[in-house]
Structure 1
Amino acid sequence: MKRRSFVKSTLLTGVTATVLPAMSKATEPAPKTAEYYELRVYSLKNVEQQKIVEGYWKDIAIPALNNLGVKHVGVFNEFKPDAQTRLFVLIPFNSLNHFSTVTESFDSDTKLQAKGAAYLNAPAAAPAYERIESSLLKAFVHMPHLEAPENKTRIFELRQYQSATEAAGKKKIEMFNDEGEIDVFKRLGFKPVFWGETVIGPQRPNLTYMITFDDLEAKSAHWKAFGSDPEWKKISAMPEYADALLVSKITSTMLVPTVYSQI
């Protein structure tokens, strides 16, 4: 029998939840329900901007987040950038309430504001970055919590599937949750870090996930195995899950973690 999860998250309910008063401490234990992730992408003009942003995350933001119950903060550079690298930051939260509480704490912490002045209060004539693109994602039911891989040299692939309609996007998520596509990734050794539906952010409707490899050769081998896997062929052959119906665009970004990244 199929496991029907019926993902219920919507932009309206997500926004409503974020404005409710924070009722528990930021250090609340991880719940059984799905986590939320903030995915930030910094556009940087030069090495100086990168130093300022990375210094803020390494020395100020990550320690503060850890103290507030946020674990496994990931910070990544592009594997082979065309120009100045973009910086990707992945921040997991136990719940929307946790997200709200952490945000309020950052805004009211005068010591943190002072320490992070070079980043937070950079002059308009010399900004710390060009722009931040930020998305809020809800973890999939079948992988409700982030799974940090073993701490060793590796590369990461961040993939986004855009859909033409919200119904198509929900159907693609159902394919991962209820038909066992996530299980195929895990069985074949992709070591996924997270799967998330974008509830607030650009290019909606879309889903985003992160997988890992030892190197580019391993990446090629894993995707080859995936394409020929009997279970994947069975799932993808179902007419209701045809990519032509559910996916309008796929983007793939190869990343490498910074030395201080917790993922």
Structure 2
Amino acid sequence: MKRRSFVKSTLLTAAAGTVAPAVASAANSAVPPKGTDYYELRVYTLKNDEQQKLVEDFLQNAAIPAFNSMGVKHVGVFTELKPEEQTKLYVLIQYNGIAHFDHISDNINNDTAYKTKGAAYLTAPASQPAYERIESSLMKAFKHSPILAPPDKKTRIFELRQYQSATEAAGQKKIEMFNDQGEIDIFKRLGFNPVFWGETIIGPQRPNLTYMITFDDLAAKDAHWKAFGGDSQWKKISSVPEYADALLVNKITSTLLVPTAYSQI
């Protein structure tokens, strides 16, 4: 077995446990059958407008069409609402299972249009790189919300939230609150329009969970979170000692985003 194939196989096994034999043959099929969603979150760090344009041109004209042709229905591309410097680009890619992720990673470079239209990005010289860094995470959808739910197309802002936990056990307990104790249902009932919920299985700052919600504007964001904090069901869940945030969450990050014109989310 070649070293590259061995390393890749090892990472996927660590990510998903024992993967069905369909993974091994996925590269020979069209699109692997639907399963629980997996999400790839890429965060591009950029230094100037030239890099941003190069990456965005690649995403819009090469990457997204290639992903769509291979069965990915939604690729979201976002910029920061209020960047402190050059905005970062956030790219969310929906896969219909771990076999789908594997299939695309094996085959995307066989797409002639992808390589041709993305050449400026894919072959950028080291002296003029297309970006400074890419930080990637692979997430598995929560069982209570196994499929991405893209909101209606209209002007809106997105909030990407990550909850980091001190231990794997604490992280699993927090996921239990969302899945089994009804926390996801509260978000839906109060109109947060959640897009996805995912447990990071490969990526930085583990253990963590990440989710995305949406609002019409900043005033709506404040109103929704106020309603959440005062919700009787939330107060009941959060009052259980074993679900205290002080035990389960040691850091929360929140990033406000706006979709690009070509974003599919």
For normalisation by structure 1, the TM-score amounts to: 0.92
Mark the CA change 1:79 to 1:13 in structure 2 (over 3 Å): closer, same or farther. Answer: closer
8 Å contact from structure 1 (residues 75, 261) kept in 2: yes
The question of 1:246 aligning with 2:248 is answered: yes
Q: Distance in 2 between matches of 1:18 and 1:122?
A: 37
8 Å contact from structure 1 (residues 38, 134) kept in 2: yes
The question of 1:22 aligning with 2:17 is answered: no
Superposed displacement of residue 106, structure 1: 1.1
* Structure 1 counterpart of 2:58: 56
- Percent identity (aligned): 67
For normalisation by structure 2, the TM-score amounts to: 0.91
3-state SS of the aligned residue for 2:24? Answer: coil
Q: Distance in 2 between matches of 1:189 and 1:99?
A: 31
* Structure 2 counterpart of 1:86: 88
8 Å contact from structure 1 (residues 25, 98) kept in 2: no
Instruction: Give the aligned CA root-mean-square deviation in angstroms.
Output: 1.7
Q: Select 1:227's aligned residue among 226, 229, 244.
A: 229
* Structure 2 counterpart of 1:128: 130
Q: Select 1:76's aligned residue among 63, 75, 78.
A: 78
Residue segments in structure 1 that go unaligned for 5+ positions in a row? 1-9
Larger helix percent: 2
Q: Distance in 1 between matches of 2:123 and 2:44?
A: 16
Q: Distance in 2 between matches of 1:80 and 1:11?
A: 38
Mark the CA change 1:202 to 1:243 in structure 2 (over 3 Å): closer, same or farther. Answer: same
Superposed displacement of residue 93, structure 1: 0.3
* Structure 2 counterpart of 1:6: none
The question of 1:67 aligning with 2:57 is answered: no
- Aligned-partner residue type, residue 97 of structure 2: S
3-state SS of the aligned residue for 2:263? Answer: coil
Aligned residues: 252
8 Å contact from structure 1 (residues 26, 102) kept in 2: no
- Aligned-partner residue type, residue 252 of structure 1: S
Residue segments in structure 2 that go unaligned for 5+ positions in a row? 1-11
Q: Select 1:156's aligned residue among 149, 155, 158.
A: 158
